[in-house]
Amino acid sequence: MKEHNWIKIALTPFSWIYGLITNLRNWGYDYQLFASKKPSQFVISIGNLTVGGTGKTPVTEYLTSLFSNRVPTAILSRGYGRKTRGFILAHSASTPAEIGDEPMQYFLKFNPNVLVAVSENRVHGAENIAVTAPEKKLLLLDDAFQHRAIARDINLLLNDFQRPFYQDLPFPAGRLRETRNGAGRADAIIVTKSPALLADHVRNDITIAIRQFSKPETPVFFSFLEYGEPESYAGGHVSLKKVKMAAGIANPLPFTAYLRARFDVTDEVVFKDHHNYTPADAEELIKNLKNDTFVVTTEKDMVKLKPLVEASGVAGKFAYIPVKVSFGNDTGRFHEWIFKQTGHLFQAER
């Protein structure tokens, strides 16, 4: 622990420099020295200040489920980890290597009702969607809080309950992509991965800490993760007792804790975030695997691993745990707020 503290102290001056650079960049956008272009769609951005693992994917899926049956919706992502570049529309033959694991997950879950696209240039991506699918009136931007070249109508900032941005520093001493003052751009802040039951005084303390850096009127909502019944890679629910965990996500700790609390975890294999699985990885995961044990992954890992294990004929030995976000007691308040911001979209669809 002491060694870690000394490393953090040594890196702090570099964090100041990094923070100054990001502040200057944001200042340039704030004072219109750099241009932000507004797409034709109504744009909701879902992002964070912290590098990775704040729960953007479940929140994006929550909003997609909330809106897509009410207004024609598209999701635009950078497609982090893909082996391609440029604008690509997801289609039935798409692969995670082509569009990225999270966009692939969106496509598998919401196709054909929702258009999913990737582009490292969000402005060009939005323009291409407007030409390809002009009926899509709502555009959800996955992980775009710092992508200020594209203007948005609603800026949602996620804050991990376990790793709050207000206690962190910019890279490299910390995990922030910019200084904590960036929270001032948020129209609403969602605390993610909270305990399902959270004492009022804890909520109040967190809200006060957040509002040191956000606008005073910015609403703060609390959410938590709900894990679903285990699903076999071969299809259908499966009963689990002994499991071997495998995860390639930014923050596997909540997933690990969930599995440990409910199953007999015989082994834990952690890969880097957005890991590109290989046939050798799949083979290693089932090596010496006992008949009563399943390899259990996240849904994000499943979209990349499933084709490999299907090709090997071992899909029946793999399962994943679906996850979704819940706003609990804040559900009504969050829906009231976001529908107030977007009400005109529904009127236009009548």
Tens digits of residue pLDDT in 54-101 = 899 999 999 999 999 999 999 999 998 899 999 999 999 999 999 999
Decide: 79 and 142 in contact? Cβ < 8 Å.
no
- Whether residues 143 and 219 fall in one domain: yes
Residue 53 pLDDT class (50, 70, 90 cuts)? confident
Q: Is the pLDDT of residue 178 over 50?
A: yes
Q: Where are the beta strands (DSSP E) in 103-262?
A: 115-118, 138-142, 154-160, 188-192, 220-222, 224-227, 231-232, 242-247
Whether the per-residue pLDDT at 139 is higher than 90: the answer is yes
Cβ proximity of 61 and 324 under 8 Å: yes
- Is 8 part of a structural domain of the chain? no
Distance of CA 277 to the CA centre of its chain: 20
Q: What is the pLDDT of residues 282-339, one digit of tens each?
A: 999 999 899 999 999 999 999 999 999 999 999 999 999 999 999 999 999 999 999 9
Give the rounded percent of residues in the chain with a pLDDT score beyond 70: 97
Same domain, 144 and 284: no
179 is in an annotated binding site: no
Question: 332 a known binding residue?
Answer: no
Whether residue 256 sits in one domain with residue 205 = no
Verify that 130 and 209 share a domain, yes or no.
yes
Q: Is residue 41's pLDDT more than 80?
A: yes
86 is in an annotated binding site: no
Residue 278, Cα to own-chain centre: how many angstroms? 23
Percent of the chain with pLDDT over 90: 89
What's the rounded Cα separation, in Å, for the pair 56 and 61?
9
313 labelled as ligand-binding? no
Identify whether residues 127 and 203 lie together within a single domain.
yes
CATH value at residue 286:
3.40.50.2300
The enclosing domain of 160 has a CATH number of 3.40.50.300
Q: In what order do the strands lie in the sheet with 220-222?
A: 88-89, 115-118, 73-77, 138-142, 42-48, 154-160, 188-192, 220-222
- How far apart CA 282 and CA 141 sit, in angstroms, is 32
Report how far residue 103's alpha carbon sits from residue 336's, in angstroms, rounded to the nearest whole number: 28
Q: Are both 191 and 131 inside the same structural domain? A: yes
Q: What is the pLDDT of residue 1?
A: 45
Give the count of domains, the chain.
2
Query: Does 221 have pLDDT greater than 50?
Result: yes
Q: Is the pLDDT of residue 348 over 60?
A: no
pLDDT in tens, 106-132: 999 999 999 999 999 999 999 999 999
* Identity at 253, one-letter amino acid code: L
Same domain? For 164 and 181 the reply is yes
Indicate the pairing of strand 293-298 with strand 242-247. parallel
Angle between helices 56-67 and 331-349 in degrees, nearest 10: 50
What is residue 269's three-state secondary structure? strand
Range of the domain at 306: 229-321
Report if residue 176 sits inside a domain.
yes
- What distance, in Å, lies between the first and last C-alpha atoms of the chain? 59
Same domain? For 80 and 196 the reply is yes
**Residue 23 belongs to some domain of the structure:** no
Question: Looking at residues 201-212, what average pLDDT do you find?
Answer: 97
Establish whether 131 is an annotated binding residue: no
Same structural domain for residues 47 and 135?
A: yes
Give me the sign of the Cα torsion angle 246, 247, 253, 254: negative
Angstrom distance (rounded) from CA 84 to CA 267: 34
139: in domain: yes
Banded model confidence at residue 144, pLDDT cuts 50, 70, 90: very high
167 in a structural domain: yes
Domain match, 115 and 254 both: no
66 in the same domain as 90 = yes
Would residue 86 count as lying in a domain? Answer: yes
In a domain, 14, yes or no: no
Q: Does the annotation list 84 as a binding residue? A: no
Is the domain of 260 the same as that of 210? no
Q: What is the structure's pLDDT at 347?
A: 65
* Domain assignment present for 31: no
